[in-house]
Structure 1
Amino acid sequence: MNELIPLTERDGTQAVLGRDLHAFLEVSTEYRHWFPRMVDYGFTEGQDYAVKNDRVQDSLGREREATNHVISLDMAKEISMIQRTEKGKQARAYFIECERRVKSSTPAIPQTYAEALRAAADNAERAERAEAEARALEVPAKSWGTLAAAGGDYSVAEAAKTLSRDPNIRIGRDQLFAAMRDAGWIFRTKGHRAHWEAYQDKAINTGRLVHKLSRPFLNERTGEMEQPSPTVRVTPKGLNELHVLLGGSNQSALEVAS
């Protein structure tokens, strides 16, 4: 396998440098602006990536410090998918193959009878676990096309869980908010009561999202009734478009059961 992107190691596992991935993906945005936007999809420092300061030379040969990041292959795969480009697809496939090769590497030969017994038990357990995982993934992959929504809509958390039924998608509530922001569906208001709102033209009028209004409540501090901020909810149409946008395994239209 050709090394498309150089790999490194972090805590004994395969990893990749953020700047190497950024260069391969041919992202036009500068790295210092691009990487924080990727982190907004819900990644955590210390768990998904670590900061690494590099010494680099500029075009005049002067040394300076540049911030880099060591990122896990799971994070690298998700970042690659988010780009929605051919380069992103290549990178994701490459990382999957790198992981597969590590997992399929030949284990050490048992040296004693006790070690052989443990190895046999471990192999049986792994085979049973793999079979169970395959059965679990088979249902979501086949059943995505039919979803009992009864014409209703979904909270963003519910939509994230539904999308994650697809084995090609792993996304949480905050990551889904960030994905809809990048798609131009929603924006974040400012002020002490900042919240997400949907764009009228690109999200509400197109039937992708709806606003749900809650009941007014009494502000005990001011003694006045206040109207809570609207809640963004995802329609079945919006859910289907998000499924396609996020690279779901079955790109057919979502069939909503009545």
Structure 2
Amino acid sequence: ALNERTRLVWFETPTNPWLKLVDVAMVADTVGHVPAARGERPLVVVDNTFASPALQRPIHLGADVSFHSSTKYLAGHSDTVSGVAATNRGDVAERLRFLQNAMGAVPGPFDCFLALRGLRTLALRMDRHAANGTAIASMLSARDDVELVRYPGLAEGRHAHPQAALADRQMRLPGGMVSFIPSAGGRSHRSAAERARAISEATRIFALAESLGGVESLIEVPAVMTHASVAGSPLEVPDSLVRLSCGIEAADDLLADLGQALDRA
């Protein structure tokens, strides 16, 4: 709970891997009414990695710091490991520079080059990521062998995102990340978890790999990959959940690839 000891409010939106949304403006307004700690209201920091600044502007919505794993969409080519913290507050920027200098958290010149190279095509790539994400989510939502689809851009139907109106309000486009749970059954009468693994192993364009946000499409089962470390905790995800990072390939190719994997599973 927020109280006079709160110094920082940090959250991500959309979240990984459930793609839940947090109302940035509402949080910023709420935090603004919290009793000040050491004479300062708490800082609001938003992890904007899943959206990128091309689709969502947390600072414009009231956040103090927008954080990005620039390994993902900003660089966009899965060939660098780096991060970015952006702020429009001079006092916060000064403190961040001091800490960066004191701790030595400075990226190498080539990593900076790769991130800057990616930024040149960020807007174009994000439009394509979102278009492909929308196409994939729509296809999944139309299939009877899919139990659940989570995508901020789905506003209607049985798989409509519960926060689609918020996504429309604070995001320019719903992004390229899609999560879904297949139904049990299929050609081989598998459980939902078995189908999730079978689907992930059967794609040919979607590469079975962790990470996200690159030009190539990726598929994974978070419970045994990116989120295996939180098994048994409140953050545990079901072993039937599949996460997709939709790249910039031709939409028809991605639809055909995922479709045949679902059919085979």
Structure-1-length-normalised TM-score: 0.27
- Largest Rg, 1 or 2: 1
Quick check: which one's strand share is greater? 1
More helix by share: 1
